[in-house]
């Protein structure tokens, strides 16, 4: 794997007559994790679909390593970009190993059976994702956390330069959330891949992302270093609710807590400030 730079310049997209993404510009460099955060409906998943080539009719520019995505053929794009979706359902009894081998399809050149190199790449990907003990089990038998390990392994088997993660931990408990992102950081640091990840959990974004892009109604509200973007002012404006933002004394990372009406009343009555 070798990282590839992603550049979006004034990207806009509409579903029929409804604008969803408006003039979005951002850059992800090799060896970097950029988080996409924002309310539901702010365009995060649509951006993932545009970058991965699922959606094509956009305005502006989306470049991978300087090349426009719309001009890259499907197999070549699949060798460059891998997607880990929010949830994967499989009604067919494929084993974890078979699922991961599907990530080698772009390298097959039309061959009906995988090569020795494909099998070796799949085994390595399973090991790196912590999914090797699951290799012989059916995907239907696995827990949500185990499934996501396998899907992450499939993405690694593609040996991409860019990983796109679309809320991959939404249905996972805190153990599997941190485990997945620990492995993402490991791949970034050892292989230098670029990562663009959609997150709803702002604490995960604060812990694992080098930079974040905060979206609001399809536009970039703020982007930059995590602690400069995930501020009380930005978050209360974009999410239209109050939050408490502070710094973890142990890690130096941000801690973000949504405030209930009761909590807001307590803070107001105490005279304290809910901001960093």
Dihedral of CA atoms 147, 69, 71, 108 in degrees, nearest 10, equals: -20
The values of phi and psi at residue 178, to 5°, are -70, -35
Which two structure tokens, joined as six digits, stand for 233?
A: 């002012």
Distance CA 86, CA 88 (A): 7
Q: Is 252 left (phi over 0), alpha (psi -120 to 50) or beta?
A: left
Any idea which of 22-26, 108-112, 253-257 has the lowest mean pLDDT?
108-112
| Contact between 36 and 199 (Cβ < 8 Å) | yes
What is the average pLDDT across 36-63?
Answer: 95
What pLDDT is recorded for position 272?
Answer: 65
Question: What percentage of the chain reaches a pLDDT higher than 90?
Answer: 73
Q: How far apart are CA 161 and CA 221, in angstroms?
A: 27
Mean model confidence pLDDT for the chain: 91
pLDDT at site 126: 95
Average pLDDT over residues 150-172: 93
pLDDT 10s digits, 213-240: 999 999 999 999 999 999 999 999 999 9
3-state secondary structure the chain: CCCCCEEEEEEEEEECCEEEEEEEEEEECCCCEEEEECCCCCCHHHHHHHHCCCCCCCEEEEEECCEEHHHCCHHHHHHHEEEECCCCCCCCCCEHHHHHHHCCHHHCCCCCCCCHHHHHHHHHHHHHCCCHHHCCCEHHHCCHHHHHHHHHHHHHHCCCCEEEEECCCCCCCHHHHHHHHHHHHHHHHHHCCEEEEECCCHHHHHHHCCEEEEEECCEEEEEEEHHHHCCHHHHHHHHCCCEEEEECCCCCCEEEEECCHHHHHHHHHHCCCCCC
pTM of the complete model: 0.91
φ, ψ at 131 (rounded to 5°): -115, 5
Whether 34 and 224 have beta carbons less than 8 Å apart is answered as no
Cα gap 190→233, rounded to integer Å: 35
pLDDT digits (tens, 9 = 90+) for 75-134: 889 889 999 988 766 666 899 999 999 998 887 655 555 788 889 999 999 999 999 999
| CB distance 60 to 12 below 8 Å | yes
Question: Of 41-45, 140-144, 201-205, 224-228, which gets the smallest average pLDDT?
Answer: 140-144
Give strand pairing partners of 36. Answer: 198, 213
Nearest Cα residue to 259 out of 240, 241, 275, 246: 241
Q: Which residues of 28-43 are buried (b: 16+ CB within 10 A; e: fewer)?
A: bebebbbbbbbeeebb
**106, 189 Cβ separation under 8 angstroms:** no
Region of poorest pLDDT, from 145-149, 184-188, 224-228: 145-149
């Amino acid at each position: 794997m070798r990282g590839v730079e992603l550049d979006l310049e004034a990207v806009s997209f509409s579903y029929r007559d409804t604008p969803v993404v408006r003039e979005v510009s951002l850059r992800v460099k090799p060896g970097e994790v950029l988080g996409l955060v924002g309310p539901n409906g702010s365009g995060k998943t649509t951006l993932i679909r545009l970058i991965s080539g699922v959606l094509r009719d956009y305005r502006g520019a989306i470049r991978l390593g300087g090349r426009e995505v719309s001009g890259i053929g499907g197999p070549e794009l699949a060798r460059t970009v891998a997607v880990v979706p929010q949830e994967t359902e499989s009604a067919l009894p494929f084993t974890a190993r078979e699922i991961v081998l599907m990530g080698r399809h772009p390298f097959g050149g039309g061959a009906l059976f995988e090569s020795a190199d494909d099998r070796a790449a799949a085994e390595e990907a399973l090991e790196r994702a912590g999914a090797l003990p699951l290799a012989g089990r059916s995907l239907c038998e696995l827990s949500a956390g185990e499934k996501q390990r396998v899907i992450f392994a499939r993405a690694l088997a593609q040996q991409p330069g860019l990983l796109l993660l679309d809320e991959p931990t939404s249905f996972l408990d805190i153990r599997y959330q941190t485990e997945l992102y620990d492995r993402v950081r490991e791949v970034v640091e050892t292989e230098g891949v670029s990562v663009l990840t959609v997150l709803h959990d702002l604490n995960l974004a604060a812990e694992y992302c080098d930079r974040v892009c905060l979206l609001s109604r399809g536009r970039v509200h703020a982007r930059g270093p995590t602690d400069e973007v995930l501020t009380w002012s930005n978050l209360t404006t974009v999410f239209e609710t109050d939050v408490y933002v502070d710094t973890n004394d142990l890690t130096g990372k941000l801690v973000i807590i949504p405030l209930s009406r009761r909590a807001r009343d307590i803070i107001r009555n105490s005279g304290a400030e809910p901001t960093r």
